[in-house]
Chain A
Amino acid sequence: MSSMGNNSKNKIIDYLPLENLDREIIDFLSSGKPEEEIIEFLIKRFQ
Chain B
Amino acid sequence: MIDFDYEIERDESDEIRRYFPDKIASPLKSSTAYIEGPNSSGKSTLLHLIALGFYGLDDENLARPLREKLEDLINNDKIIFDVKIKNKNGNTLLQTKKNDKENNNITTYREIEGDLEEMNRDTFKENYKLIYDIPDNPTQRIEKIADEVGDHQKDIADNLSNCNTYVRDILADITEGRDPNRMAKLQTSIEGQKSNLIILKNQMVKNNQEFEALSKYAYPSLLQYYVGELSGIDSEMSRIKASVASKRKAKGSSKNKYDDALKTVHEIIRKAQREYQEASAYLKTVLKEDTNEGIFNSEWSNIDFVEIRTQYRLPENFTKTIEKISKIVKKILDENKLAEQTSNVYSQIIDTLKEATHNKIRMPKIGITLNDFIGRIETLKKENETQTLIAKNAKNTIKHLDDLTIYIHHLKFEHFPNLLRLSEKVGKGMQSNTGDAEILRMEQGLLLKRRKVKAKIEDYKHKCAKYEVSEFEHTKMIRENKNKVEKFLAYTEEQLSEELEYSEEEVKKSKSHYTLSKLRIERDEEVLNRLENKKPHKYESKIKTIEEIMNYLEYLERKFRHTFNKALTNYKNKTQLPNKSNFPEEYENTRIYYDGVSKYLGAKLGTIRHIDGEYNVKKVNLVSGNVTTESGKKIRLRAMGTGQTQSTYLQSKLKTDYGGRKLIVMFDEVGMMDDNSMEPIKDLIRKLKKEGTLLVGLVVQRLDSGVKITPI
A interface with B by C-beta (< 8 Å): 1-7, 9-17, 22, 25-26, 29-30, 35, 38-39, 42-43, 46-47
Contacts and interface: CB of A to CB of B under 8 A. Distances in A.
Closest 3 pairs (CB-CB, A-B): A7-B657, A15-B596, A15-B600
Given A26-B159, A43-B539, A5 B152 contact: yes
B155 A15 contact: no
A43 B549 contact: yes
A10 B167 contact: no
Contacts of A6: 657, 659-660
B600 A17 contact: no
Contact of B160 (A29, A46, A47): A29
Given A9-B603, A17-B592, A29 B657 contact: no
A3 B167 contact: no
B659 A12 contact: no
A17 B546 contact: no
Contact of B153 (A1, A10, A12, A25): A12
B483 interface: no
B163 interface: yes
Interface of B: 126, 149, 151-153, 155-156, 158-160, 162-163, 166-167, 170, 539, 542, 545-546, 548-549, 552, 556, 564, 589, 592-593, 596-597, 599-600, 603-604, 655-657, 659-660
Contact of A4 (B163, B166, B539, B659): B659
A10 B658 CA distance: 11
Nearest to A1: B159
Given A16-B564, A35-B166, A10 B657 contact: yes
A29 B159 contact: yes
B188 to A, nearest CB: 31
A15 B599 CA distance: 7
Given A4-B152, A6-B660, A17-B596, 6 more contacts: A2-B659, A15-B597, A16-B593, A17-B589, A17-B592, A29-B159
A46 B543 CA distance: 12
B162 A1 contact: yes
Nearest to B657: A7
Contacts, number: 90
B546 A43 contact: yes
Nearest to A36: B166
Nearest to B597: A15
Nearest to A13: B156
Contacts of B542: 43, 47
Nearest to A40: B539
A17 B585 CA distance: 13
Contacts of A42: 163, 167, 549
A44 to B, nearest CB: 10
Nearest to B125: A2
Nearest to B169: A35
Contacts of A29: 156, 159-160, 163
A12 B600 contact: yes
A28 to B, nearest CB: 9
24 contacts: A1-B162, A2-B126, A2-B159, A3-B659, A4-B659, A5-B155, A5-B659, A6-B660, A7-B657, A9-B603, A10-B600, A10-B603, A10-B604, A10-B655, A10-B656, A12-B152, A12-B600, A14-B600, A15-B596, A17-B592, A17-B596, A25-B556, A26-B160, A47-B542
A16 B153 CA distance: 10
Contacts of B163: 1, 29, 35, 38, 42
A46 B592 CA distance: 27
Contacts of A12: 149, 152-153, 156, 600
Most A CB atoms within 10 A — which of B159, B542, B556, B656? B159
A44 B542 CA distance: 11
The listed residue with most B CB atoms (<10 A of its CB), out of A3, A12, A29, is A12
Contacts of A22: 556
A46 B552 contact: yes
Contact of B549 (A15, A16, A46): A46
